[in-house]
Each structure stands twice: as C-alpha cells, then as structure tokens.
Amino acid sequence: MVSEPQPDSVSVMRLFATQLRREIQSTARSPEEVINPLIFLFLAITLFALSIGGGAEDLRERAPGIIWVLVLLANMLSLESLFRRDYDDGTLEQMLLLAQPVFVPILAKIVAQWCMSGLAMTLLAPLAALILYLPTSELPVLLLTLLLGTPALSLFGAVGAALTVGLRRGGVLLALLILPLYVPVLIFGAGAVTEHMVGVGVDAQIYWLLAITMLALTVAPFAVQAALRISVEQ
C-alpha cells in the first residue's frame, strides 16, 4: 500500500513541473500567442530593411540596435497575455491560495514565457541578422547577448504584467512601466554587438548582462508574487 502524500508537503519540483506542464498544454491549444510576436519581430525587421536606404553598409551598422529594440518590443507583446487568462478565469486566485511556496509556479510561468519568446527569438536571430546584412562573425556575440539578456526582459516584464493584469486596458501602461527597466539590458546588449563589430572587447557588457539577469532572477519572482496579490485583492 502506497501512502498518500500529505497535502501540505508538495515538493517544489512537483509544483514547478505541474505549472510548466499546464503552460505547455495551454500553449499547444493556442499557438498563436507564441507565433504572433515572432511574426511581428520579422515584419518589423523587414520594415526597417525596406525603409533604411543607403545599402548593406548602413543597415549592417544599425542592425544590432534594430534587432535588440524589436526583440524587446516583441517580448513585451507576449507579456501582455502572461497572466491575463489566469486572472480572468480565476486560476490565478487558486494558484495564490494553494501553492506553497507561491513563487515556484510563478517562476515556472516566466520560464515558459521566456522559452516561447526570448529563447525562440534568440534561435531565430540568425535569420534576422541575415535580413539586416549583419556579418556571420558577429552572430556568436549577438546570440550570447540575447541568450543572457532576454531572461531579464521576461522577468522584469512579468512584474509589469502582474501589476497591470487587473486593469482592462493595461497594454500601454505595461509599456510605460517596463520599458525603463529594459534600458540597461538594451544598452549592454546592443552595445556589445556594435562594439564587437569595430573590434573592441565585450567581456564587460557580457558580465553586466549576466549580472542584470541574475538580479532579476532573484528579485522578480517575489515582486511578481506581491504584485499579483495586489491585483487579485482588488
């Protein structure tokens, strides 16, 4: 006879896995929530490629900035829906009431969101670089900065999403809240690629990105938890 696990002692791993499975199932049912921001990214990059005149040389110089800004905006698009559905259907209430500790399923949600936005965009970045004539020699730096920087975007963004989820039209407010938080990531991310193009060492920027992401990882889940409580208790 196998003894039943006590309801009070849910292992952290089971909690994380439970939430992650739910995110995957939910995304499988509505893949457009993942695909649309990616399509936006490539449409916008194409628009830049079409509108900036002057040929490959001009485009190449601006490519790091363009890619980073658009990754940032596309990421924000997918953040709007991070907690929206859970808030509307009441699963957020249940999550806040029942999960012990609450930050574990929250972190699982953010990890899932990053995999479907930041990670997906990192993997597609070579294509974006191709459209903007970025030389392949710059690809490793671009991919590394995106890989290290995008988790911070998702983590900071989740705080904004949690604060605005109770508002019916939170979209613009979300942008106003989190875009300032994105600035350091943008500066170090785009800066690293640009400087690498002119042959300057970029170790410092890489370490900064790593530090920002680590800081976000330590602080954001708890900030999101507090923000969700405020949103639900209204």
According to the binding rule CB under 8 A, does residue 168 interact with other proteins? no
Q: Is the peptide bond before 101 cis (omega within 30 degrees of 0)?
A: yes
Positive or negative, the CA dihedral 169, 172, 177, 181 is positive
Query: Residue 65's Cα: distance from chain center in Å?
Result: 17
Give the one residue of 38, 52, 96, 217 binding other proteins; rule: CB under 8 A: 96
Residues 5-34 that bind other proteins (CB under 8 A): 5-11, 14-15, 17-19, 21-22, 25-26, 29-30
SS3 89: helix
Which of residues 144, 162, 190, 232 is near other proteins by CB under 8 A? 232
Binders in 35-94 for other proteins, by CB under 8 A: 85-86, 88-91, 93-94
Q: What is the C-alpha to C-alpha distance for residues 229 and 213, in angstroms, rounded to an integer?
A: 24
Which CA distances in Å does 156 have to 6, 53, 110, 139? 35, 35, 10, 26
Q: Which residues of 147-163 are buried (b: 16+ CB within 10 A; e: fewer)?
A: bbbbbbbbbbbbbbbbb
Q: How far is the CB of 213 from other proteins (least distance, A)?
A: 28
The residue (of 35 and 47) whose beta carbon lies closer to other proteins is 35
- Binder to other proteins among 37, 64, 105, 157 (CB under 8 A)? 105
- Is 130 an interacting residue with respect to other proteins (CB under 8 A)? no
Q: Which residues bind other proteins (CB under 8 A)?
A: 4-11, 14-15, 17-19, 21-22, 25-26, 29-30, 85-86, 88-91, 93-99, 105, 229, 232-233
